[in-house]
Amino acid sequence: MLALQGDTREHVAALREAGAQVSTVRRRSELDTVDGLVIPGGESTAMSHLLRVFDLLDPLRERLAAGLPAYGSCAGMILLATEILDAGEPGREAVPLGGIDMTVRRNAFGRQVDSFEGDIDFEGLDGPAHAVFIRAPWVERVGPEVQVLAQAGEHIVAVRQGAVLATAFHPEMTGDRRVHKLFVDIVAGAV
């Protein structure tokens, strides 16, 4: 669990309920020991800044390029992209980690007041997932190897490329642990 900023506590609880052993990552030595990594929702520009401060940006990019399974929700989805639209002010912008070949638009659904929730069809889950969207991004472009797992209207809100999974919404804020279980299964299959 990347524990620099964001809703780490909620993800830790969801991962444990889904059967994972969870440790937090704040240092490179901790990053080097994990079999998979969750990048939580939060503020993508703040997380980008902290990745630089803690000297985790390049090591994380390297681990992702080497096949580290990862799951990002909301801000985590933004960071896992290869391209970020509306990334923020120069020098303080969200930086792409390149885990999934996609273009993501930050805060695409609007401001905090525009946050919403609802049920969406999610490929691979037995029934709709309840999705909580908070200042959520959406995916504007996916590469040929990216699998689209869910949409909200015409907007892509869940994707997977190999061992990397991302959602624009926050499944950790619901009692539904199926997305976290999917990630736990991805990690188990990769080790």
CA atoms of 140 and 109, how far apart (whole Å): 12
130 is catalytic: no
117 is catalytic: no
Tell whether residue 42 is among the known ligand binding residues.
yes
User: Which of the following is catalytic: 74, 117, 140, 155?
Assistant: 74
User: Which of the following is catalytic: 30, 62, 117, 172?
Assistant: 172
49 is catalytic: no
Tell whether residue 117 is among the known ligand binding residues.
no
Q: Are 166 and 80 in contact (CB under 8 A)?
A: yes
Tell whether residue 48 is among the known ligand binding residues.
no
User: Which of the following is catalytic: 30, 49, 145, 170?
Assistant: 170
Tell whether residue 106 is among the known ligand binding residues.
yes
For residue 3, count other CB atoms closer than 10 A to its CB: 17
CA atoms of 112 and 134, how far apart (whole Å): 6
Tell whether residue 16 is among the known ligand binding residues.
no
Q: CA triplet 165, 126, 109: central angle to 5 degrees?
A: 50
CA atoms of 45 and 123, how far apart (whole Å): 30
Q: Annotated binding site, which residues?
A: 42-44, 106, 134-135
Annotated binding site for L-glutamine: 42-44, 106, 134-135
Catalytic residue ranges: 74, 170, 172
